[in-house]
Amino acid sequence: MEETISKNFIEQIIEKDIEEGRCKKVVTRFPPEPNGYLHIGHAKSILLNYGLAKEYGGEFHFRFDDTNPTKEKEEYVESIKEDVEWLGAKYDGPIYFASDYFDKMYECAELLIKKGKAYVCDLTPDEIREYRGTLTEPGKNSPYRDRTPEENLQLFRDMKAGKYPDGSKVLRAKIDMTSGNMNMRDPILYRIARMEHHNTGNKWCIYPMYDFAHPLEDAFEGVTHSICTLEFEDHRPLYDWVVRECEFENPPKQIEFAKLYLTNVVTGKRYIKKLVDDGIVDGWDDPRLVSLSALRRRGYTPESIRKFMELVGVAKSHSSVDYAMLEYCIRDDLKLKRPRMAAVLDPIKLVITNYPEDQTEYVDVPNNQENEEMGMRKVPFCKELYIEREDFKIERPKKYRRLYIGNEVRLMNAYFVTCTGYDADEDGNVTTVYCTYDPESRGGNSPDGRKVRGTIHWIAAPFAKQAEVRLYENIVDEEKGVYNEDGSINLNPNSLTVIKNAYVEPTLEEYKPGDSFQFMRTGYFCMDTKDSTKEHMVFNRIVSLKSSYKPN
Binding site for Mg ion (CB under 5 A): 33
Give the shortest CB-377-to-Mg ion separation in angstroms.
Answer: 48
* C-beta neighbour count of 505 within 10 angstroms: 24
Identify any residues that bridge with 497 across adjacent strands, giving them in sequence order. 471
231 neighbors 257 (Cβ within 8 angstroms): no
Would you say 32 or 523 has its CB closer to ligand ATP?
32
Would you say 28 or 67 has its CB closer to Mg ion?
67
Rounded CA-CA distance 347/389 in Å is 6
Partner whose binding site includes residue 457, from ligand ATP, Mg ion, none (CB under 5 to 8 Å by kind): none
Burial call 117-135: b when 16+ CB within 10 Å, e when fewer: bbbbbebeeeebeebbbee
Binding site residues, ligand ATP, CB under 6 A: 31-33, 41-42, 44-45, 228-229, 259-260, 267-270
Give the shortest CB-45-to-ligand ATP separation in angstroms.
Answer: 4
Partner whose binding site includes residue 228, from Mg ion, ligand ATP, none (CB under 5 to 8 Å by kind): ligand ATP
Cα angle 101, 103, 106 (rounded to 5 degrees) comes to 105
Give the shortest CB-269-to-ligand ATP separation in angstroms.
Answer: 3
445 neighbors 402 (Cβ within 8 angstroms): no
What residues have CB less than 8 Å from 201, skipping those under 6 apart?
Answer: none
How would you classify residue 475: left for phi > 0, otherwise alpha for psi between -120 and 50, otherwise beta?
Answer: alpha
What residues have CB less than 8 Å from 90, skipping those under 6 apart?
Answer: 50, 60
Give the shortest CB-71-to-ligand ATP separation in angstroms.
Answer: 10
Would you say 259 or 389 has its CB closer to Mg ion?
259
Would you say 115 or 270 has its CB closer to ligand ATP?
270
Partner whose binding site includes residue 307, from ligand ATP, Mg ion, none (CB under 5 to 8 Å by kind): none
Consecutive H or E run containing 471: strand 465-472
441 by Cβ neighbours in 10 Å (0-12 / 13-18 / 19+) ranks as: buried
Residue nearest to ligand ATP (CB): 41
Rounded CA-CA distance 58/37 in Å is 27
Partner whose binding site includes residue 268, from ligand ATP, Mg ion, none (CB under 5 to 8 Å by kind): ligand ATP
Would you say 66 or 388 has its CB closer to ligand ATP?
66
Give the shortest CB-83-to-ligand ATP separation in angstroms.
Answer: 11
Would you say 42 or 541 has its CB closer to ligand ATP?
42
Residue nearest to Mg ion (CB): 33
Give the shortest CB-33-to-Mg ion separation in angstroms.
Answer: 5
Give the shortest CB-271-to-Mg ion separation in angstroms.
Answer: 13
Would you say 219 or 345 has its CB closer to ligand ATP?
219
Cα angle 9, 15, 21 (rounded to 5 degrees) comes to 140
